[in-house]
């Protein structure tokens, strides 16, 4: 068997599910604040519009991205990095909304990482067929901080493995309101998102958003 589905009881929206060493799925953790988070997201997107970035290898990503907070992740022909300004506008990234930071701190705490304070949020938007190939996130200065990830809108098939690309990938579905906290040994796990299936969600329409809260500086 190449991949395996993780057991989920759809009626259980409270118990953390262990995805790996240091990684917890909190099903529906953000459902009750999704409306407030989405309103704040729309305001951020007005100030720093989503854009499809170019990879150092010369491809244009299918996922559209933007950021908020003290710095933001960007990619272009020169490589990947965190920068204090939005290269599209030359202005600082929009400030991180309080509802974002509070959600990230609360989720990290529920997963066993007390006092997590993000300094950036990377916002990904997937439309049908958009995907993210397996990769590691290692551009942050101190990899002892976890990453907190929130899914909004259409569901996605998410895959994750180990610290080496050769390790077997497991799959799970990330749904609207789900939060995953990645720390410890899972912080350097390879992970990716399979091409998004067409659909419609009452909050987001034909797309999925993923917000990942990080401490990059």
Which of 9-17, 43-51, 84-92, 129-137 is the region at the interface with Fe ion (rule: CB under 5 A)? 129-137
The listed partner (Fe ion, ligand MD3, none) that binds 107, CB under 5 to 8 Å by sort, is none
Q: Tell me if 43 sits within 8 A of 51, measured CB to CB.
A: no
Q: In the beta sheet, which residues pair with residue 198? A: none
Quick one: tokens of 10? 């759809």
Alpha carbons 150 and 209: distance in angstroms, whole number: 8
> Taking CB under 5 A as the rule, does residue 140 contact Fe ion?
no
Looking at the Cβ atoms of 11 and 140, the one nearer to ligand MD3 is 140
Question: Judging by beta carbons within 10 Å of its beta carbon (0-12, 13-18, 19+), is residue 142 exposed, middle or buried?
Answer: exposed
- Could you tell me the CA-to-CA distances from 94 to 54, 70, 162, 191 in Å, in that order? 21, 8, 34, 27
82's tokens: 């965190």
Residue 90 CA to residue 71 CA, distance in Å, equals 12
Instruction: Decide: is 193 part of the binding site for ligand MD3 (CB under 6 A).
Output: yes
Residue 137 binding Fe ion, by CB under 5 A: yes
Verify binding: residue 75, ligand MD3, rule CB under 6 A. Answer: no
Q: Which is nearer to Fe ion, 20 or 92 (CB)?
A: 20
- The answer to whether 97 and 47 have CB atoms below 8 angstroms apart is no
**Judged by CB under 6 A, does residue 124 bind ligand MD3?**
yes
Does position 187 bind ligand MD3 by CB under 6 A? yes
137 binds ligand MD3 (CB under 6 A): yes
* Candidate segments 25-33, 47-55, 90-98, 188-196, binder of ligand MD3 by CB under 6 A: 188-196
Stretch that binds ligand MD3, among 30-38, 98-106, 111-119, 185-193 (CB under 6 A): 185-193
Distance CA 160, CA 171 (A): 7
Backbone angles phi, psi at 105, to 5 degrees: -65, -45
Q: Does 147 bind ligand MD3 (CB under 6 A)?
A: yes
Among 105, 172, 186, 204, binds ligand MD3 (CB under 6 A): 186
Minimum distance of Fe ion from residue 132's CB (angstroms): 7
By C-alpha distance, which of 75, 77, 73, 74 is closest to 58? 77
- Of 92 and 134, the one with the shorter C-beta distance to ligand MD3 is 134
Applying CB under 6 A, the residues found at the interface with ligand MD3 are 122, 124, 132, 137, 147, 149, 160, 180, 182, 186-187, 189, 191, 193, 210, 212
């Amino acid at each position: 068997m190449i991949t395996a589905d993780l057991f989920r009881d759809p009626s259980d929206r409270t118990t953390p599910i262990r995805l790996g060493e240091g990684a917890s799925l909190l099903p529906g953790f953000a459902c009750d604040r999704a409306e407030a988070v989405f309103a704040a997201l729309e305001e951020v997107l007005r100030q720093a519009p989503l854009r499809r970035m170019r990879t150092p290898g010369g491809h244009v990503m299918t996922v559209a991205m933007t950021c908020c907070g003290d710095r933001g992740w960007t990619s272009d022909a020169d490589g990947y990095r965190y920068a204090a300004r939005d290269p599209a506008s030359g202005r600082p990234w929009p400030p991180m909304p309080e509802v974002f930071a509070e959600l990230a701190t609360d989720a990290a705490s529920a997963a066993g990482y007390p006092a997590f304070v993000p300094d950036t949020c990377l916002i990904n938007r997937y439309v049908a067929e958009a995907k993210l190939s397996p990769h590691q996130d290692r551009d942050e200065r101190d990899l002892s901080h976890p990453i907190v990830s929130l899914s909004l809108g259409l569901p996605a098939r998410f895959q994750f493995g180990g610290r080496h690309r050769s390790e077997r990938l497991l799959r799970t579905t990330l749904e609207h309101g789900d939060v995953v906290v990645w720390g410890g040994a899972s912080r350097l796990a390879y992970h990716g998102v399979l091409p998004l299936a067409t659909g419609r969600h009452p909050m987001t329409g034909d797309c999925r958003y993923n917000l990942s809260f990080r401490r990059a500086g």
